[in-house]
């Protein structure tokens, strides 16, 4: 794929990935076919900041985990009221990283 397209994608979407994953994303995109470019542009990544806000407001009900696609963890948080509050507090610190990892896996699955 063209390096200019890849660099523009990285500049626009780097907040959706972990810092250490950005170089890997760039290399994967450079090695990808040009035919996949339209699919890559249409990918909808979850914003980690929005997920953190959801976690602060509805984390004890598992809404944050449902939002990023972790259905099992969402059900677990819902049943236990966020692990009696402890799990919800822990997720305030971990949910942004989990969201970025999900975004990375989504891109990997496409490529």
pLDDT tens over the chain, length 111 residues: 888 989 999 999 999 999 999 999 999 999 988 888 888 988 999 999 999 999 999 989 999 999 999 999 999 999 999 889 899 999 999 999 999 999 999 999 998
pLDDT at 33: 87
Print the domain residue range for 47.
3-110
3-class DSSP string for 3-33: HHHHHHHHHHHHHHCCHHHHHHHHHHHHHCC
CA distance 16 to 97: 9
Q: Token pair for residue 55? A: 């976690």
pLDDT value for 83: 86
User: What is the per-residue pLDDT for 111?
Assistant: 85
pTM of the model: 0.88
Distance from C-alpha of 21 to C-alpha of 48, rounded to nearest angstrom: 15
Question: Helices 86-110 and 48-58 meet at what angle, rounded to 10?
Answer: 150
Structurally, the chain folds into a number of domains equal to 1
């Amino acid at each position: 794929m063209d390096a200019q397209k890849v660099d523009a994608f990285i500049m626009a979407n780097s907040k959706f990935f972990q810092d250490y994953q950005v170089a890997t994303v760039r290399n994967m995109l450079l090695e990808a076919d040009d035919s996949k470019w339209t699919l890559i542009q249409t990918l909808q990544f979850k914003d980690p900041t929005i997920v953190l806000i959801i976690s602060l407001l509805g984390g004890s009900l598992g809404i944050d985990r449902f939002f990023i696609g972790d259905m099992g963890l969402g059900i677990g948080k819902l049943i236990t009221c966020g692990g009696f509050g402890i799990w919800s507090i822990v997720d305030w610190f971990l949910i942004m990283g989990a969201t970025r990892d999900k975004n990375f896996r989504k891109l990997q699955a496409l490529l």
